[in-house]
């Protein structure tokens, strides 16, 4: 089967078309024929080898990136209970390891990682939701805020930031978000109550908007300790890049690892329902043939992509 991966770690041009054996679903697994795979920042860590450094045991190449996919249910493994049927349009979150990754035309996945795609969406649109949506949900669940409390979101114009804003609004939170001048209208349209200018001084600008500091902050911009001043004493900080910085003033540092929710199908189904109800917005920046994966990675790393780049397989 066709996949996109690397035989040697490197830059975008290390990505190439590879031929892999077609997976066979085992007990508790579903076989998905992938039509669309989202390109996420974490994919670049598979490509350049940074992800391998965090793994105690490495598999042989090729290494295939990709954590968000959508397609069609091809087969159901033996003794696997599911209400999905062969031929259903589905979306799934993928935890990549070795040649198991989302940039593949076929994937055998745990049944808990696969859910029906939102009604009325394309494969490309559905592929933007699983990993990013679950990451946003996990961050909010770890922070444990109550309705009426104030959440700050940095990197708010990105795919993760957009889901954070909309899910936080649904939870009854007040949302302060950062944006460039060009992105301010977008971030407001996503539902942010207050928008401050992004950049090195964003913590001070959040403090000006919310004297005393916000109850919690999700660090989508990966500014880490530079953001701590914006959080009140005893508040919460959520990081999606594994920051080990020690916050001051009793602030709790929550590590957001998607593997915690990778098989939480009920939460993925809830995200689907929220898309169908119009609460969540699926944003596709551009669709591209899978063979153009190197170009997609270059575009992503250049910055400024709003929504998700999608590889079509």
Topology (CATH level 3) of domain 132-258: Rossmann fold (3.40.50)
What is the distance between the alpha carbons of residues 98 and 59, in angstroms, rounded to a whole number? 5
**Domain 2-129+282-312 identical in fold to domain 132-258:** no
The pLDDT value recorded for residue 12 is: 98
The pLDDT value recorded for residue 126 is: 98
Summarize pLDDT for 255-265 with one digit per residue, the tens: 999 999 999 99
* 191-219 residues labelled b (16+ CB within 10 A) or e (exposed): bbbbbbebeeebbebbbebbeebbbbbbb
The pLDDT value recorded for residue 54 is: 64
The pLDDT value recorded for residue 243 is: 79
Q: How high does pLDDT run on average in the chain?
A: 96
Residue 53, pLDDT > 90, answer no
Lowest mean pLDDT among 48-52, 103-107, 108-112, 192-196: 48-52
Which residues have a Cβ under 8 Å from the Cβ of 54 and sit 6 or more positions away? none
Are 308 and 159 within 8 A, CB to CB? Answer: yes
Summarize pLDDT for 198-249 with one digit per residue, the tens: 999 999 999 999 999 999 999 999 999 999 999 999 999 999 988 778 899 9
- Checking phi first, is residue 271 left (phi over 0); if not, alpha (psi -120 to 50) or beta? alpha
Stretch 116-131: mean pLDDT, rounded? 98
Instruction: Provide the residue ranges of all domains of the chain, joining segments of one domain with +.
Output: 2-129+282-312, 132-258
What DSSP element (H or E) covers 102? Answer: none
What is the distance between the alpha carbons of residues 83 and 290, in angstroms, rounded to a whole number? 30
Topology (CATH level 3) of domain 2-129+282-312: Quinone Oxidoreductase; Chain A, domain 1 (3.90.180)
Lowest mean pLDDT among 43-52, 174-183, 281-290: 43-52
Lowest mean pLDDT among 117-126, 139-148, 242-251: 242-251
Contacts for 50-53 with beta carbons within 8 Å, 24 or more apart?
51/96, 52/9
What is the distance between the alpha carbons of residues 128 and 291, in angstroms, rounded to a whole number? 19
């Amino acid at each position: 089967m066709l996949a996109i991966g690397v035989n040697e770690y490197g830059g975008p041009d290390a990505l190439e078309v590879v031929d892999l054996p077609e997976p066979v679903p085992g007990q508790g697994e579903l076989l998905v024929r992938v039509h669309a795979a989202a390109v996420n920042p974490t994919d670049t860590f598979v490509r350049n080898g940074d992800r391998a450094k965090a793994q105690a045991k490495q598999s042989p190449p090729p290494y295939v990136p990709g954590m968000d996919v959508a397609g069609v249910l091809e087969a159901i493994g033996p003794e696997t209970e599911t209400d999905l049927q062969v031929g259903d349009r589905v979306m799934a979150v993928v935890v990549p390891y070795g040649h198991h990754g989302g940039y593949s035309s076929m994937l055998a996945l745990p049944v808990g990682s696969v859910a029906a795609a939102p009604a009325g969406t394309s494969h490309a649109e559905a592929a933007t939701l699983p990993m990013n949506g679950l990451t946003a949900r996990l961050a909010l669940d770890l922070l444990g805020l109550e309705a009426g409390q104030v959440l700050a979101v940095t990197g708010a114009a990105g795919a993760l930031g957009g889901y954070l804003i909309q899910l936080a609004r649904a939870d009854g939170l007040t949302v302060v978000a950062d944006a460039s001048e060009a992105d301010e209208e977008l971030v407001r349209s996503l539902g942010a109550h207050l928008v401050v200018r992004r950049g090195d001084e964003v913590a001070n600008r959040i403090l000006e908007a919310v004297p005393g500091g916000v109850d919690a902050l999700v660090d989508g911009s990966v500014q880490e300790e530079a953001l701590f001043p914006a959080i009140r004493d005893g508040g919460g900080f959520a990081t999606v890049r594994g920051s080990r910085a020690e916050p001051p003033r009793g602030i709790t540092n929550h590590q957001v690892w998607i593997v915690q929710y990778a098989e939480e199908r009920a939460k993925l189904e809830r995200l689907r329902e929220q898309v169908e109800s119009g609460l969540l917005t699926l944003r596709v920046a551009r669709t591209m043939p899978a063979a153009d994966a190197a170009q997609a990675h270059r575009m992503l790393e250049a910055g400024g992509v709003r929504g998700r780049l999608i590889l079509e397989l």
